Amino acid sequence: MGIAGFVAGVTLWGALAGILLPRAAYRLSVEAGLPWRSACPAGHPLSGPAGGWLGLAVCPGCRSEPATGRRRGYAPVGGAVLATTLVCLALGAGVGARPELFVWLLLAPFTVLLCLVDRAVHRLPDVLTLPLAAGTAAALGTAALATGTAGSWTRALLGGLVLGCCYYLLHFINPRGMGFGDVTLALTVGQVLGWYGWFVLFAGTFAAFLAGTVYGYALIALRRADRTSPIAFGPFMAAGALAGVVGAGLGLGMGLGTGLGAGLP
């Protein structure tokens, strides 16, 4: 596969996965203790593959009705497609065609989905974060069996455990400042960053907290929040993980390769 085919495949995967995210994000974006949404904004029951979780951003019932002023879609699809595509392209450019790239590409849509939900309702549902952590461990274990990987499965598992414990400690000290959903997401983020090394784990975690802090103070400066206002930290955790993976893949101080061209014929 040449570079053009590689880029086209990564782009296509990101775009197709992003198209399916708005429905799932809509269903999951509810306050804690409430059931997942089972009908579209117009009241049509959600049906389709995977119990109605997979589907386009407008349900068949809305498409068959004449256009009115009410909301027809679950969420703007363009943002989800753009975000997922850009994340996948960044991963492809940084990691190249190494075996672990397939793991990162599988994780990308779920991570974007979690960010959408966290941004909407400040919640990271365990129904996603816990299976994601287990799936990451299994997928990285499979990738470790292939030749050409640039990481360590054992270190990834330890990284997930270490970061999860650190986040749990922060949650125990200040539950309002660090939600339990952040703790469960840290199990995955720690594995992703730990795969490439302890320095990458530290750097990606530091980047997440730095970005979250800057964002919080910016909101305060703009008088859109105060020091007690909660923020959705999941997107910053995801951004820190992305930065760590791309930076490590590019070999910034780690000697891990040459980026997009690595592994390509």
Secondary structure of 172-225 in HEC code, one letter for each residue? HHCCCCCCHHHHHHHHHHHHHHHCCCHHHHHHHHHHHHHHHHHHHHHHHHCCCC
Q: Which one, of 3, 48, 4, 2, lies nearest residue 27 by Cα?
A: 48
Rounded to the nearest integer, the mean pLDDT of the chain is 88
Return the pLDDT at 263: 39
Please write the tens of the pLDDT for every residue from 74-125: 666 888 999 999 999 999 999 988 999 999 999 999 999 999 999 999 999 9
Q: Which one, of 171, 234, 170, 244, lies nearest residue 206 by Cα?
A: 244
Return the pLDDT at 255: 44
Is the predicted pLDDT of residue 161 greater than 60, yes or no?
yes
**More reliable by pLDDT, 225 or 36:** 36
CA distance 88 to 103: 11
Reported pTM: 0.89
Q: Read off the pLDDT band of 48 (50, 70, 90).
A: confident
Place of tokens 């969420």: 75
How many contiguous H segments (helices) and E segments (strands) does the chain have?
A: 11, 0
Sequence-distant contacts of 161-165: CB under 8 A, at least 24 apart: 161/187, 161/190, 162/190, 162/194, 162/201, 163/187, 163/189, 163/190, 163/193, 163/194, 163/201, 163/205, 164/190
Q: Read off the pLDDT band of 207 (50, 70, 90).
A: very high
Return the pLDDT at 66: 62
Burial (CB < 10 A; 0-12, 13-18, 19+), residue 222, is exposed
Average pLDDT over residues 1-23: 92
Is the predicted pLDDT of residue 147 greater than 90, yes or no?
no
Q: Read off the pLDDT band of 65 (50, 70, 90).
A: low
CA distance 239 to 205: 10
Tokens in use for 46? 């959600």
